[in-house]
Amino acid sequence: MLSILMRSRGFITEQKLSSHDVLTKEEVLPLLNTKYIGGEIIYLDSVDSTNNYARDRAAGGCSEGLVIIADMQTAGRGRLGRNWATPKASSIAFSVVLKPEIKPFKASGITLVVGTAVCRALRYKTSMDVGIKWPNDIILNRKKLCGILTEINAGMDVVNYIITGVGINVNIKEFPEDLKDIATSLSLELGNVVSRKDILVSVLSEIEKTYEDFKVNGLNNIMDEYKSYSVTLGNFVKVTSINDIMEGEAIEITDDGLLVVKLKDGMKKKVISGDVSVRGINGYI
């Protein structure tokens, strides 16, 4: 196979010379058979963060389902104030604007909805054992494959809009030293260059299906599937939140998506948010 290797800021990425794997509206739209997710697509060669761009559009009153796709992000954002790298032409980085008519306290469910949808699409497309680390890190072979950042804009009683941003490592051949042991990509795991377009279309379609269900049934129909993908349940975890660190066994995910951790003294604590590391053979991920 003829391929081209590119090096940037510690990442080595790979593209097939023959393929036309760009994520422009013209390339993506004909393959997409969703009703409204991707009804409008904005493609950018480069942007600071697709979530920022989507937020500005949503604040200006765009329609639900707008998808912002970038070939590269210069200041991609992760959860808990972290950075997210999107090297050129090798990853998928997109954000979707959602406007569910739900009470603000239900909006965090979107995190699990999108996690389930992305995991399902990646399992289907790769036939690999892709999993979810609570709440929605997508994991493959104990390394992070994909991150999801969901940001909610709500008033006291109404959700104005939700931006959910998804970053998938697709054709990254080598990660910088600090990420090598904790991050992976589809091409590294599959051993071949992967079509970003194909993955993106499948992920958007699963997001729409799962979100449609959520709007009618809440998390009722999603939780069993979500739990079946969980790499957190049944394992020892370390939860780092603003105020404290706790360690224990992740014994349950509640119907509203909270993680229940059983501490050494037998006490059970519900985790609403925070950074969860899962202890396993190769340490924590």
Contact residues toward ligand BTN (CB under 6 A) are 49-51, 73, 76-79, 82, 84, 86, 93-95, 137, 147-149, 165-167
Nearest-approach distance from CB 79 to ligand BTN, in angstroms? 4
Question: Among all residues, whose Cβ is closest to ligand BTN?
Answer: 147
Of 180 and 268, nearer to ligand BTN (C-beta) is 180
Nearest-approach distance from CB 194 to ligand BTN, in angstroms? 17
Nearest-approach distance from CB 56 to ligand BTN, in angstroms? 13
Nearest-approach distance from CB 181 to ligand BTN, in angstroms? 16
Of 3 and 44, nearer to ligand BTN (C-beta) is 44
Instruction: Count CB neighbours of 115 within 10 A.
Output: 28
Structure token pair of residue 16? 């097939």
Q: Are 284 and 142 in contact (CB under 8 A)?
A: no
d(CA 62, CA 216): 23
What are the strands, taking DSSP E only, across 9-136?
11-16, 41-44, 67-70, 91-98, 131-133
Of 50 and 187, nearer to ligand BTN (C-beta) is 50
Of 93 and 223, nearer to ligand BTN (C-beta) is 93
Residues 6+ apart with CB under 8 A from 25: 41, 42, 43
Q: What is the CA radius of gyration of the chain?
A: 18
d(CA 101, CA 64): 11
Distances (CA, A) of 119 to 50, 229, 267: 21, 8, 31
Of 75 and 251, nearer to ligand BTN (C-beta) is 75
The helix or strand, by DSSP H or E, that contains position 210, with its residue range, turns out to be helix 196-217
Nearest-approach distance from CB 95 to ligand BTN, in angstroms? 5
39: closest CA among 94, 93, 97?
97
Cβ-defined contacts of 21-25 (< 8 Å, 24+): 21/89, 21/195, 21/196, 21/197, 22/71, 22/89, 22/197, 23/69, 23/71, 23/92, 23/94, 23/196, 23/197, 23/200
Nearest-approach distance from CB 156 to ligand BTN, in angstroms? 27
Nearest-approach distance from CB 266 to ligand BTN, in angstroms? 32
Of 27 and 137, nearer to ligand BTN (C-beta) is 137
Of 251 and 272, nearer to ligand BTN (C-beta) is 272
Of 17 and 242, nearer to ligand BTN (C-beta) is 242
Nearest-approach distance from CB 245 to ligand BTN, in angstroms? 19
Q: For residue 186, which amino acid is it?
A: L
